[in-house]
Structure 1
């Protein structure tokens, strides 16, 4: 059923969104899926008959941030970069509000159903990694493969210094706050594209709600039901202690491949131009 809903996105946000989405090097198809939680905007690419791959971005980001991964992923998969209703992006909340982790699981269930995907591979970065791992625990039979890019709140907590530095993003959000925070977090390594930084800043100013979150997913309960998993960590991440994350991932997902990529920060990882990252990710997802 098609339901007409009003998008909360302003003209300024839409302009920044178009600018960032223009970074994608492959043709994209915007999709709007109506469901019980509103209308979910998806940026799709790759062959229509390719195996489905769902991309889940970090908190405060949009589907535009996946531009550097798009070409490699689209060679083997039909990739769907989704935007959670109520967070920055062109999704439109409506119907049931997303309030609890269980709501997020139901939202993803409905999204896969609407796409006609009985099973899909999941690729999540940061908060999107928490969401992807949580969904694998919720519905392991629907997750073909699980790839996590420097996932947060999955295997270790945030560093206090990171949370303190991130506070201005919520107190005085905007492009300047986003630029200062991301420059500090990248600390001399590869940075985030200016278009993506601006979009994150405008989005933080226009969308003041925080993503729905919750406890660490109980990944250890999966046991033999765990899907094949890859955990790629940012060697210079200031979000958390990468060694603790690697150790925790090894305990929770004993069959996972865990790789630390040196010299890159947490937020720049999805955009990293790296033959090693491309080889690890595309090789894993292609099986």
Structure 2
């Protein structure tokens, strides 16, 4: 996968918003080279961050200052999606391949167990990994996880259909602006996502199936689910109810003034408070 100069410039523009320049690490593996942005005390517990589709690892710019105070942060560019990872090995074709890839990322931290935060598609990966490999987890955070505990809204799917059928910068921009409404989203990050859409119109990704009720009930990981009250991808109350029914021990938080695509950037302060409280609790 080759990125143009526009993408690299846009990526760097968002990465400069991080409070400190991260250490860029490229992990060679069976499926290709995975790029990870690393920061935080080397002797702290590892925390893996998995972004939503197309968001890249740079999206955590308003969160890493709070998280890296007490965790060694490993922010991943998802292999096969927008970012600096290069899928130049065997193609990932199954959830088992996805789990193997995640295992390799955990291995790179040097720890047997890690904490994981995943948003959107990243939350789907994190949940699948937790269901298959709970032995590798400390705590798990799912940020507005779509197609995990409940279905997506028909209205969102209809809005997303033109982008899925014929991806373009303009269609990506229209979908994000509609879903985030009046919320103020960082313009540099929006530019990065739009450029990524033109450079990689159809990411080659393995999408885990929605887990069964029985599978979710058997989840043996300390879990926090954070939902966007104003999100248009799914109904926050329906997802919250599903989580509580299937995993009674899970903690559920609903953020005001938040949409699916505004997270984790908006509202960063409130989200960071919830994350730190859970991870340090």
Q: TM-score surpassing 0.5? A: yes
Q: Does the CA-based 8 Å contact 1:41-1:90 persist in structure 2?
A: yes
Q: Displacement of 1:142 after TM fit?
A: 0.4
Q: Which blocks of at least 5 consecutive residues in structure 1 are unaligned? A: 1-6
C-alpha distance in 2 between matches for 1:137 and 1:262: 29
Q: What is the aligned partner in structure 1 of residue 175 from structure 2?
A: 181
Q: Does the CA-based 8 Å contact 2:130-2:219 persist in structure 1?
A: no
The answer to whether 1:232 aligns with 2:232 is no
The answer to whether 1:61 aligns with 2:48 is no
Q: Does the CA-based 8 Å contact 2:258-2:267 persist in structure 1?
A: no
3-state SS of 1:164 partner: helix
C-alpha distance in 2 between matches for 1:222 and 1:161: 26
The answer to whether 1:108 aligns with 2:102 is yes
> Per-residue CA shift, 1:36-95, capped at 9, x if unaligned?
111000011111111000001111220011111110100110111111221101001122
Q: Which blocks of at least 5 consecutive residues in structure 2 are unaligned? A: none
3-state SS of 1:92 partner: coil
Q: Displacement of 1:218 after TM fit?
A: 4.2
C-alpha distance in 2 between matches for 1:279 and 1:203: 30
Q: Displacement of 1:166 after TM fit?
A: 1.8
Cα distance change on mapping 1:274 and 1:39 into 2, 3 Å: closer
User: In angstroms, what is the RMSD of aligned CA positions?
Assistant: 1.7
Cα distance change on mapping 1:219 and 1:9 into 2, 3 Å: farther
The answer to whether 1:134 aligns with 2:128 is yes
Q: Displacement of 1:169 after TM fit?
A: 2.9
Q: Does the CA-based 8 Å contact 1:119-1:142 persist in structure 2?
A: yes
C-alpha distance in 1 between matches for 2:24 and 2:162: 32
TM-score, scaled relative to structure 2: 0.94
TM-score, scaled relative to structure 1: 0.92
Q: What is the aligned partner in structure 2 of residue 94 from structure 1?
A: 88
Q: What is the aligned partner in structure 1 of residue 151 from structure 2?
A: 157
Q: What is the aligned partner in structure 2 of residue 4 from structure 1?
A: none
Q: Displacement of 1:210 after TM fit?
A: 4.3
C-alpha distance in 2 between matches for 1:257 and 1:195: 33
> Per-residue CA shift, 1:109-130, capped at 9, x if unaligned?
1121133221000101111111
> Per-residue CA shift, 1:10-36, capped at 9, x if unaligned?
222111111111121223111100011
Q: What is the aligned partner in structure 2 of residue 169 from structure 1?
A: 163
Q: Displacement of 1:9 after TM fit?
A: 1.7
Q: What is the aligned partner in structure 1 of residue 187 from structure 2?
A: 194
